[in-house]
Amino acid sequence: MATTADYVRYNSVARALHWSIGVLILFNLFTGIFGEGLEKMWESMPVHKATGLLILLLSLVRFGWRLRWTTPDYPVDFNPGFRKFAAATHGTFYLLMLILPVTGWIFTSAGKYPLSFYGLFDWPKLALTKDMPIVGAAHETHEILGYAFAALVVLHVGAALYHHFALKDPTLRRML
Ligand code: HEM
Ligand code: HEM
């Protein structure tokens, strides 16, 4: 098996942001999709909202950081088709990490509940009301892109495991 000296890893800030945001997104996909069922046992929505807003803040930091460096090179024999596919998936992730929280922020701003950031402070609401078309559009976008995000995560994790266990290349270890 190759040692870390044989391949280049993502830098430590990129790895820390990838895994912390990844865990928070898995939590939000879970609480978003199973929210209604969960509500019987635990009121998950306030935490879903606060976590979504935390994802927005961390993603802005991550996006800013990402503009300052280029990703580590793939091994020379890495399939160019995979490379393009990975770049497209990663680019879509960056967009979704910003669009999902912003659409959530927009449509919940028109709701009656305050947007509490884990009870620490009230997150500002946008000056919107339920009759505005942007509110309905944001709600629908949140729902559709939420499911698209979940499907893409399954693909992404599947690809990482396929590289690691089937192709036995360093793709996953570059992110560890
Ligand atoms: C990356 C962050 C986020 C992800 C991945 C995410 C994902 C999801 C998903 C998959 C659903 C289920 C869609 C449905 O069945 O209707 C959902 C619902 C919901 N999300 Fe998010 N969300 C995020 C951020 C936010 C934010 C920031 C807010 C508000 C501040 C929010 C508020 C809501 C609400 C209120 C619902 C329930 C909507 C309904 O039942 O009609 N989400 N979210
Ligand atoms: C759950 C939400 C996740 C999101 C939103 C996400 C997002 C991303 C993004 C945007 C990149 C590109 C990094 C960059 O160029 O800055 C990336 C890379 C990577 N992710 Fe994830 N990730 C998630 C979870 C996971 C999980 C659970 C695994 C492992 C099983 C994983 C394994 C990897 C690997 C190996 C790379 C490097 C791929 C390459 O260099 O081509 N990710 N991820």
**Where do the domains of the chain lie?**
4-175
Q: Is 45 helix (H, G, I), strand (E, B) or coil?
A: helix
Distance 86 CA to ligand 1 centre (A): 26
Contact in structure between 105 and 115 (CB atoms under 8 Å): yes
Report residue 155's pLDDT band, with 50, 70 and 90 as the boundaries: very high
Q: Top-level CATH class of 4-175?
A: mainly alpha
CA atoms within 13 A on the CB side of 63: 15
Distance 127 CA to ligand 2 centre (A): 35
Ligand nearest to the CA of 139: 1
Pocket-forming residues, ligand 2, beta carbon under 6 Å: 14, 18, 22, 25-26, 66, 71, 86, 90, 93-94, 153, 156-157, 160, 171-172, 174-175
Instruction: Name residues whose C-beta falls within 8 Å of residue 66's C-beta, 6 or more positions apart in sequence.
Output: 14, 94
How far is residue 129 CA from its own chain's centroid? Answer: 27
- The helix/strand count (H/E) of the chain reads as 5, 2
34-43, 90-99, 129-138, 151-160: least confident range = 34-43
Report residue 94's pLDDT band, with 50, 70 and 90 as the boundaries: very high
Q: Is 10 exposed, middle or buried (0-12, 13-18, 19+ CB in 10 A)?
A: middle
The predicted model gives 50-54 an average pLDDT of 98
Tokens of 18: 């990838």
Contact in structure between 21 and 58 (CB atoms under 8 Å): yes
Residue 1 clears pLDDT 70, i.e. is over it: no
| CA gap 114, 172 in Å, rounded | 40
Cβ–ligand 1 distance for 55 under 6 Å, the answer yes
Distance 46 CA to ligand 2 centre (A): 27
Residue 34 clears pLDDT 70, i.e. is over it: yes
The predicted model gives 12-36 an average pLDDT of 97
| Residue 6, pLDDT score | 61
Contact in structure between 6 and 44 (CB atoms under 8 Å): no
